[in-house]
Structure 1
Amino acid sequence: MRLFAHDRARLAVVGALIVASSLISLASPFLLRDLLDVSLPTRNTSLSALLALGMVVVAVATSVLNVLQSRQSTLVGQGVMHRLRTAVYEHLQKLSLAFYTRTRTGEVQSRIASDIGSMQATVTNTATTVVSSGTTVIGTFVAMLALNWQLTLVSLILVPLFVLISKQVGGRRRKFVALRQERMADMSAMVADSLSVSGILLTRTMGRGDQLTDRFTTASAELADLEVQSSMTGRWRQSTIGIIIAVLPAAIYLAAAFTFSGTTGPVSIGTLVAFTTLQGQLFRPMMSLLSTGVEMQSSMAMFRRVFEYLDLPIDIPDAADPQPRGETRGELRFDGVTFRYPEADRDTLADIDLTVPAGRHVAVVGATGSGKTTLGYLGARLYEPDRGSITLDGVPLERLSLADLASVVGIVSQETFLLHASIADNLRFAKPDATDDELVAAARAAQIHQLIDELPDGYDTVVGERGYRFSGGEKQRLAIARMVLRNPQVLILDEATSALDNSTEAAVTAALANLSAGRTTLTIAHRLSTVRDADEIVVMAHGRIVERGSHDELAAADGAYAALLAKESAVPVAA
């Protein structure tokens, strides 16, 4: 209802057009009655011509009004669909990373594309159908009473049965629609997983193409069966309603044949024809209303799935009254931070106290699963700590607007994501108004300009889905160039050089060292060779800080860091 409220004025116009069209159309049966009972028997040609002209005017007027109403109602319906799609997309943009780690991409795509798309007919047509058919039913009922109230009672005696049947059909169809949409979501997820570049590589190397095809075939067959069941649910009952409506005129003729006694006398031919015409005008919109009720009940399954996403709470909300962003120094502080993932059985981080001084370089190292990456995510407020606080220049992160925080804190993840667009568009995602010279400067800083310059299309080269036209090291350098272009005051590097060979790693590390001058840098590293020159190295194990100091201090301490050094030195270098 809130989605429709935006178009109140246009809905009022639609309602006025519908009411006008419905009322004007009611004139035709009365004109027909007078033509049959008055003008034709008396051979009054002028009256006959006037009545016939009136019927033509009614037909033209209702057609014109219907076209105008159709345009206005379509504008309303499409406006509602547009607001619903954008509302869902905007809400999903605000959900935390945790939602996307537990939700299939295909499921999200299915709800935005398939579910909302399937709701379109209901949203677009429901309001106009209810108003149009409702007005027609009421007006026709009044006109039928005016013509003959006894015949009206005969016509309406079975209406409660029609309503009951339609309600039962709608309830059964709703269950099938819910199952159908779930199967469509499963198929969307299957397609997204298996027909992506990564999915095809996995399928081909594992030789699972035939098995995946069999799975898809089975899922498609189940979906087809649900479509048939949903379509055929209640068909026999609704056909019974159609048969009854089709034979009702015969019942009216039979009732007229016995002619009701009373002061009104027998039913005239003109009244009988006009009445059966009105009867047809009554049951068509009545059936339309009943069908709309069935569709609404069916669509509730899709509405439930869509509004299920809209009703998800935003677990990392933007600051209601954000603190104005002043001059940023870039000190990032973790005070007593504890964090646990919802599905985990222990804390991922426990009582973390860490300060990354403004303009300094702090590295966090440790074995896989020690909590290094989670610490970086918390520093960019991709997650919220369960206990403790994280501040930037003394201001809690939750007091800063998300836009301000994103402009100050930048993160280069170990999992590089590139858009299916040109290199220039990928870089400008960080800074839409960047000049060509700025793109080149950022690429040079990331040691990737020369490679781009040698491509036939240069910076206009399309990277392909997820950047699969480039190697892992090249994608990583493009991601670094993108962050360089954004130029945040606080830089979080989460295994940013993990995909680079030794020579490229050295070049990029040197470039990042130059860029880190005057910039707060938090480096999450697995390879210790990349953090030897950090101002401070923090060693983590099982979610806790176990050591901290410079490289030389920690190496001499013969503790956890020294053990990591020894382990790394023992690993043979690949040829």
Structure 2
Amino acid sequence: MPRPSPVVTHLTASDLAGTAPVLPRVARMLRPYRGKIAMVLVAVVVSAALQSVVPFLTRAVFDDALFPLDGGDPRLDLLAWLVAGMCAIPVATALIGIGQNWLTSTVGNSAMADLRGDLFEHLQKMELAFFTATKTGAIQSRLANDVAGVRTVLTDTATTIVQNSVTVGAAFVAMVVLSWQLTILTLVLMPLFVVLQLRVGRRRQRLARRTQESLSEMTAITEEALSVSGILLAKVFNRSAAEVDRYREANRTQTRLQVEQAMTGRTFFAVVQTFFAITPALIYLAAGWIITGSLPVGEDQLTAGTLVAFTTLQGRLQMPLMQLMRVTLDVQTSLALFRRIFEYLDLEPAITERPGAVALDPRTVRGRVELRGVSFRYPEARSLSGTADRDRFGDTGVRIGVDGDGQRTEAAGAPEPWALQDVSLVVEHGQLAAIVGPSGSGKTTATYLVPRFYDVTDGAVLIDGHDVRDLTLSSLADAVGMVTQEPYLFHGTIRDNIAYARPGATADEIEQAARDANIHDRITGFPAGYETVTGERGYRLSGGEKQRLAIARVLLKDPAILILDEATSALDNETERLVQEALERATRSRTTIAIAHRLSTIRSASVIFGLEDGRVVEQGTHADLLAAGGLYKRLYDEQFSREPHGRVSCDDRRADVPL
């Protein structure tokens, strides 16, 4: 199997620092919904304008209807019209609010769905190295938790900002019209509040990123520990209690960050709320000074109606202004989440199509495979934010290959070694080619270059004379099939798992593929037959059954090139016989490259390539290589013979040395 590859990204240090502007990208994301957004803005302005009329109606009720300034009797007819207007405005704004909520919910959820879909599509384009180096839970967290975390911004927050901004602006204008002197008193501390809010917002943004990274770690722990493999591992090594402690520690960290984030800025809001609460009292005091002439600034213009209207307006200003401050902090918090999402979207896939890529015609592709002077080493590591590796069960203090500061030592910091060096080989159409060699010699790595799971560092991989880098990814994927040592089955029916290779396949085609894979009789033996649910990763099936289902799946695909990665190495003799018969059917009339652990399965191979330390050291037929007495002969003797005095022949470079 290939060694784990480093994290591959194309982000610079400044990208990871999160300094790139986010709001323009969010605006571009919302561009398809600009029509609905415009309707929301119109609804917000109309609603705010209607609400701004209410204080003036209130002043008219006092100064014109109930207590006319000319000293006349109350005017009940005018009062009725004014009261009717004050009742009609809330009804109208409520109806407008219903439509506005529908529009904002539609825009926000649709934009969030677009973002989630774009992120999933982009992740599907990422190379294999990205997923071998990144925790599945971390990927799931950004796709689920981070996108969900910005839901409020895309649904309610943007509208709240606009609505409250318009409301505050209209209220400010109305307050100035009523009394500019009292307006100054009301808003005298606003510049200080704005400065404090910006400082609180920056802290909330940093906390939000740390909180999401902690949540990502919890998701990764859950995905690892509660998977079937994780549960088995914990039970076998009696680490269940340690896994629980590990989760509890991550949970405590998450709780502490959530509390810290929730409490950040509470003192600030308490001060603001207190100021607005005592402002009416200060207004009454200032009004008294103005009326008595202690403050000679417009005492003739300040009436009882004006004072009542102004205090009513000031009371209504408090809520939208407080909401505006809170929601502005929420936006600054959400910027950290947007950056985490955009960080993934900014990753450039290492495996991409060149302009003018050629599509292989499935009707004419023959399947000739050539590796021409291929050298390959795994790319250097570049980290994503929030992906620091830690000891699984606390800091043990044990470090290998790094110094006390966590920096790699000179030996550990050496360049990644060559996995393949100057490998040249040809597999003709219809041939069965086997690749043998010690563990870690580069066998799987070589086969992974054919379907472009990785790109070569030097040299070229060709199919029918075409460099695979010049082919479309879709046609290349259709031309190459693979059966691995550990086949993957998703949680679903046996029928679905086989039909994954060709969703439009008929029932007869699926059954024929199962027959060719020697699994049809076993499937029909299940109570539910082809509708039997396999369980997560196929854990309800045996190893041989999963292998034969994987073979049935690739037979249904019917690729021109088939790669077998040690497909029988972990099976018992009877199951191996069934799988081997299925493989013999699968390899007919197609080019096959087989990585062999059990050399008995490749005696009939057209050509056998021996790999050692990433180099092809020999090639030929079974008989030729036995006669040559090289690597193949040594591996063959280890499996089928013993040296004199009963000592098993072995190569100290092999990891699977017989006991």
Using the size of structure 2 for normalisation, the TM-score is 0.85
Deviation at 1:163, TM superposition (A): 0.9
* Aligned counterpart, 1:171: 202
Among candidates 505, 509, 514, match of residue 443 of structure 1: 514
Among candidates 37, 41, 46, match of residue 15 of structure 1: 41
What are the equivalent positions in structure 2 for 1:314-463 lying under 5 Å apart? Answer: 314-326=349-361, 327-342=364-379, 345-463=416-534
d(CA) in 2 for partners of 1:262 and 1:560?
Answer: 103
Query: Does 2:179 align with 1:153?
Result: no
- Per the alignment, in what secondary structure is the counterpart of residue 297 of structure 1? helix
d(CA) in 1 for partners of 2:580 and 2:301?
Answer: 102
CA 1:124–1:387: 2 relative to 1, 3 Å: same
Among candidates 271, 280, 283, match of residue 240 of structure 1: 271
Query: Does 2:104 align with 1:33?
Result: no
Query: Does 2:547 align with 1:476?
Result: yes
CA 1:261–1:362: 2 relative to 1, 3 Å: same
d(CA) in 2 for partners of 1:56 and 1:72?
Answer: 25
Query: Does 2:595 align with 1:521?
Result: no
d(CA) in 2 for partners of 1:507 and 1:454?
Answer: 16
Structure 1 window deviating more from structure 2 (337-346 vs 153-162): it is: 337-346
* Aligned counterpart, 2:575: 504
The one-letter amino acid of 1:367's match is P
Aligned residues: 574
User: Per-residue CA shift, 1:197-218, capped at 9, x if unaligned?
Assistant: 1111111111111121122222
CA 1:89–1:263: 2 relative to 1, 3 Å: closer
Deviation at 1:405, TM superposition (A): 1.0
d(CA) in 2 for partners of 1:116 and 1:570?
Answer: 60
Aligned 8 A contact 2:228 2:536 in 1: yes
Among candidates 296, 310, 314, match of residue 279 of structure 1: 314
Aligned 8 A contact 1:448 1:478 in 2: yes
* Aligned counterpart, 1:532: 603
The one-letter amino acid of 1:14's match is V
Structure 1 window deviating more from structure 2 (161-170 vs 25-34): it is: 161-170
Query: Does 2:332 align with 1:297?
Result: yes
User: Per-residue CA shift, 1:22-45, capped at 9, x if unaligned?
Assistant: 111111111111011101123211
d(CA) in 2 for partners of 1:262 and 1:246?
Answer: 25
Query: Does 2:125 align with 1:94?
Result: yes
Structure 1 window deviating more from structure 2 (438-447 vs 120-129): it is: 120-129
The one-letter amino acid of 1:318's match is E
Aligned 8 A contact 1:419 1:466 in 2: yes
Aligned 8 A contact 1:74 1:124 in 2: yes
The one-letter amino acid of 1:303's match is F
* Aligned counterpart, 1:107: 138
What are the equivalent positions in structure 2 for 1:192-207 lying under 5 Å apart? Answer: 192-207=223-238
Deviation at 1:102, TM superposition (A): 0.8
d(CA) in 2 for partners of 1:25 and 1:509?
Answer: 80
d(CA) in 2 for partners of 1:431 and 1:499?
Answer: 28
- Per the alignment, in what secondary structure is the counterpart of residue 435 of structure 2? strand
User: Per-residue CA shift, 1:529-550, capped at 9, x if unaligned?
Assistant: 1111111110100001000001
CA 1:570–1:274: 2 relative to 1, 3 Å: farther
- Per the alignment, in what secondary structure is the counterpart of residue 352 of structure 2? coil
d(CA) in 1 for partners of 2:223 and 2:359?
Answer: 42
Structure 1 window deviating more from structure 2 (18-27 vs 182-191): it is: 182-191
d(CA) in 1 for partners of 2:236 and 2:586?
Answer: 41
* Aligned counterpart, 1:57: 88
Aligned 8 A contact 2:551 2:582 in 1: no
The one-letter amino acid of 2:56's match is F
User: Per-residue CA shift, 1:136-192, capped at 9, x if unaligned?
Assistant: 122111111111111111111111111112112112222222222222111111111
* Aligned counterpart, 1:548: 619
RMSD (Å) for aligned C-alpha atoms: 1.7
Aligned 8 A contact 1:476 1:499 in 2: no
Deviation at 1:273, TM superposition (A): 1.4
Query: Does 2:31 align with 1:5?
Result: yes
The one-letter amino acid of 2:42's match is A
Structure 1 window deviating more from structure 2 (108-117 vs 340-349): it is: 340-349
Deviation at 1:262, TM superposition (A): 5.3
- Per the alignment, in what secondary structure is the counterpart of residue 362 of structure 1? strand
Query: Does 2:259 align with 1:222?
Result: no
Among candidates 108, 122, 135, match of residue 77 of structure 1: 108
Aligned 8 A contact 2:568 2:598 in 1: no
Structure 1 window deviating more from structure 2 (535-544 vs 396-405): it is: 396-405
User: Per-residue CA shift, 1:22-79, capped at 9, x if unaligned?
Assistant: 1111111111110111011232111111011111111111111111111101111101
d(CA) in 2 for partners of 1:384 and 1:324?
Answer: 18
- Per the alignment, in what secondary structure is the counterpart of residue 568 of structure 2? coil
The one-letter amino acid of 2:615's match is R
d(CA) in 1 for partners of 2:574 and 2:510?
Answer: 23
Identity rate of aligned residues, in percent?
Answer: 44
d(CA) in 2 for partners of 1:207 and 1:516?
Answer: 44
Structure 1 window deviating more from structure 2 (362-371 vs 320-329): it is: 320-329
Aligned 8 A contact 1:106 1:186 in 2: yes
d(CA) in 1 for partners of 2:169 and 2:378?
Answer: 59
Deviation at 1:264, TM superposition (A): 6.2
d(CA) in 1 for partners of 2:209 and 2:605?
Answer: 56
Structure 1 window deviating more from structure 2 (116-125 vs 559-568): it is: 116-125
Aligned 8 A contact 1:367 1:526 in 2: no
Query: Does 2:284 align with 1:258?
Result: no
Aligned 8 A contact 1:358 1:519 in 2: yes
Aligned 8 A contact 1:166 1:238 in 2: no
* Aligned counterpart, 2:24: none
